[in-house]
């Protein structure tokens, strides 16, 4: 089976973990500090704060942005649930805006009409590895004095007009979950250029601590361990290599799948690069997706659906007043997306198998 995801773990990661074990410093320590320094340099920002998940990263960023109970945060209805849950965790209200059918990202042209006097921040998601339209987004945020918390969990290394994700908004949030472009099993990073925000995040990730056993506010145990940090340090060294391989694989898939009636391959918009956390095709409405995926898997090709339902279809979001029909683009695309293997372990031979399987599955 050609798996939809396959983490790359080499001798460097194993050696780094062993060194941490032998050091006896397993909790947050020098390896986490090294990761934070290197990550900030890579993204071109002043601060990078390591945490234990992408969810924690978004929660920390929203807290540092000053989001409180009763505030509104604008975001997309089409993402992983971790984009929206931290808004609720702070007692704020998620205000959803439909997506662009070409990029799967939030439709920036629809954001301004969703802004109210309660709006505090915007969370755009660089879905599948491609940034949204940042020029217009930044203009809107500046006009209305809003913070931008970039959910770049799927998009490390992607760029908009030559600027890396993580440095486009007031905050950048990354995930180091096992299936991400680089990973450490579980982990996350928050980036920012604000000294004040960085201090708030450092406190928030450690129970609200501001000095030994002095607590200024409610906080959480969101620290990253040095075991995870050691893996992430080695993975970050390979990010450009991994990105290049994903982009090469995506290009070959585009070539192989070109002209197949019934599917649409990914679109990359102007002024941005795509790092292909997922290579997502769109099926025509007359194709039965479940049958298509079953056929692919029978032919040895792993396939996934990211994501099968828009966020407002889940009960704890729907009860906020949302219903099916509110975001027709997200609802339509959620019913037709299929992701194919694109990770660095996918070989040219694998791509031939994937292309052949798609053709056979489409043609029945």
237-253 confidence digits (pLDDT tens): 999 999 999 999 999 99
Choosing from 215, 237, 259, the residue where a domain stops is 237
Query: Which CATH number does the domain housing residue 352 bear?
Result: 3.90.1150.10
In a domain, 39, yes or no: yes
Q: Is residue 209 part of a domain?
A: yes
Q: Are residues 225 and 249 located together in one domain of the fold?
A: no
Q: What is the mean pLDDT of residues 85-103?
A: 98
- Give the per-residue pLDDT at 364: 66
Residues ≥6 apart with Cβ < 8 Å to 28: 50, 223, 224, 225, 226, 229
Active-site pick, 31, 164, 180, 252 = 180
Q: Crossing angle of helices 226-237/11-23, nearest 10°?
A: 150
265 domain residue, yes or no: yes
Q: How confident is the model at residue 335 (pLDDT cuts 50, 70, 90)?
A: very high
Average pLDDT, integer, range 24-29: 92
263-320: per-residue pLDDT in tens? 999 999 999 999 999 999 999 999 999 999 999 999 999 999 999 999 999 999 999 9
What residues are paired with 99 via a beta bridge? 106
Residue 216 DSSP class: -
Q: Which two tokens stand for residue 50?
A: 């390591």
Strands 119-123 and 72-75: parallel
Residues 151-171: tens digit of each pLDDT = 999 999 999 999 999 999 999
Same domain, 226 and 243: no
Same domain as 255, residue 233: no
Please give the tally of structural domains in the chain: 2
Q: What is the pLDDT of residue 200?
A: 98
Beta-sheet strand order (sheet of 188-192): 47-51, 188-192, 171-175, 147-151, 119-123, 72-75, 93-96
**Shared domain check, 288 and 231:** no
| 55 confidence band (pLDDT: 50, 70, 90) | very high
CA 69/CA 60 separation, integer angstroms: 15
Is residue 6 in a domain?
Answer: no
- Is the residue at 60 inside a domain? yes
For residues 178 and 51, state if they share a domain.
yes
Do both 181 and 251 map to the same domain? no
Say whether both 214 and 244 belong to one domain: no
Whether the per-residue pLDDT at 105 is higher than 80: the answer is: yes
Find, among 182, 170, 292, 162, the residue nearest to 237 by Cα. 182
What percent of the chain clears pLDDT 70, i.e. is strictly above it?
Answer: 100
1 domain residue, yes or no: no
- Asked if residue 209 and residue 121 are part of one domain, the reply reads yes
Any domain includes 4: no
Residue 76 is predicted with a pLDDT of 98
332 and 302 in a single domain? The answer is yes
- Where does a domain end: 237, 252, 274? 237
Domain-terminating residue out of 205, 237, 269:
237
Q: Which residues pair with 160 in a beta bridge?
A: 163, 272
Q: Which helix (H) or strand (E) holds 260?
A: none
Q: Are residues 221 and 307 in the same domain?
A: no
Residues 189 and 274 in one domain: no
| pLDDT reading at 62 higher than 90 | yes
- 82 & 157 share domain: yes
Does 110 participate in catalysis according to the annotation? no
Q: Is residue 116 part of a domain?
A: yes
- Does residue 363 surpass a pLDDT of 90? no
Could you list the residue range(s) of the whole structural domain that residue 170 is in? 11-98+105-237
Tell me what the mean pLDDT of segment 124-142 comes to.
97
CATH code, domain with 71? 3.40.640.10
Q: What is the pLDDT of residues 172-209, one digit of tens each?
A: 999 999 999 999 999 999 999 999 999 999 999 999 99
Cβ atoms < 10 Å from Cβ of 191: 31
């Amino acid at each position: 089976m050609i798996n939809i995801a396959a983490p790359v773990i080499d001798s460097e990661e194993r050696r780094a973990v062993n060194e941490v074990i032998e050091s006896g410093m397993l909790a947050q320590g020098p390896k986490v500090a090294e990761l934070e320094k290197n990550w900030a340099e890579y993204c071109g920002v002043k601060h990078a704060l390591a945490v234990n998940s992408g969810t924690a990263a978004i929660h920390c960023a929203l807290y540092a942005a000053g989001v409180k109970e009763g505030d509104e945060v604008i975001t997309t209805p089409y993402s992983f649930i971790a984009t929206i849950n931290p808004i609720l965790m702070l007692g704020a209200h998620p205000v959803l805006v439909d997506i662009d059918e070409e990029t799967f990202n939030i439709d920036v042209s629809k954001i301004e009409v969703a802004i109210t006097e309660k709006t505090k921040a915007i969370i755009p998601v660089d879905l599948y590895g491609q940034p949204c339209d940042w020029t217009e987004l930044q203009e809107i945020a500046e006009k209305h004095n809003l913070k931008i918390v970039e959910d770049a969990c799927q998009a490390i290394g992607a760029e908009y007009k030559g600027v890396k994700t993580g440095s486009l908004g007031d905050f950048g949030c990354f995930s180091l979950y096992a299936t991400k472009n680089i990973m450490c099993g579980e982990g996350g990073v928050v980036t920012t250029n604000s000294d004040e925000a960085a201090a708030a995040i450092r406190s928030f990730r450690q129970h609200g601590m501001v000095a030994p056993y002095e607590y200024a506010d409610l906080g959480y145990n969101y620290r990253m361990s040095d075991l995870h940090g050691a893996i992430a340090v080695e993975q970050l060294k390979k990010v450009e290599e991994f990105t290049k391989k994903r982009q090469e694989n995506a290009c070959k898939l585009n070539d192989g799948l070109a002209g197949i009636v019934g599917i649409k391959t990914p679109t990359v918009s102007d002024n941005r690069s795509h790092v292909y956390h997922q290579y997502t095709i769109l099926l025509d409405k007359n194709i039965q997706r479940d049958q298509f995926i079953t056929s692919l898997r029978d032919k040895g090709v792993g396939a996934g659906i990211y994501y099968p339902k828009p966020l407002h279809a889940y009960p704890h979001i729907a009860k906020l007043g949302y219903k099916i029909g509110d975001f027709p683009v997200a609802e339509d695309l959620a019913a037709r997306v299929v992701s194919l293997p694109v990770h660095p372990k996918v070989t040219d031979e694998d791509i031939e198998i994937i292309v052949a399987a798609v053709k056979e599955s489409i043609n029945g």
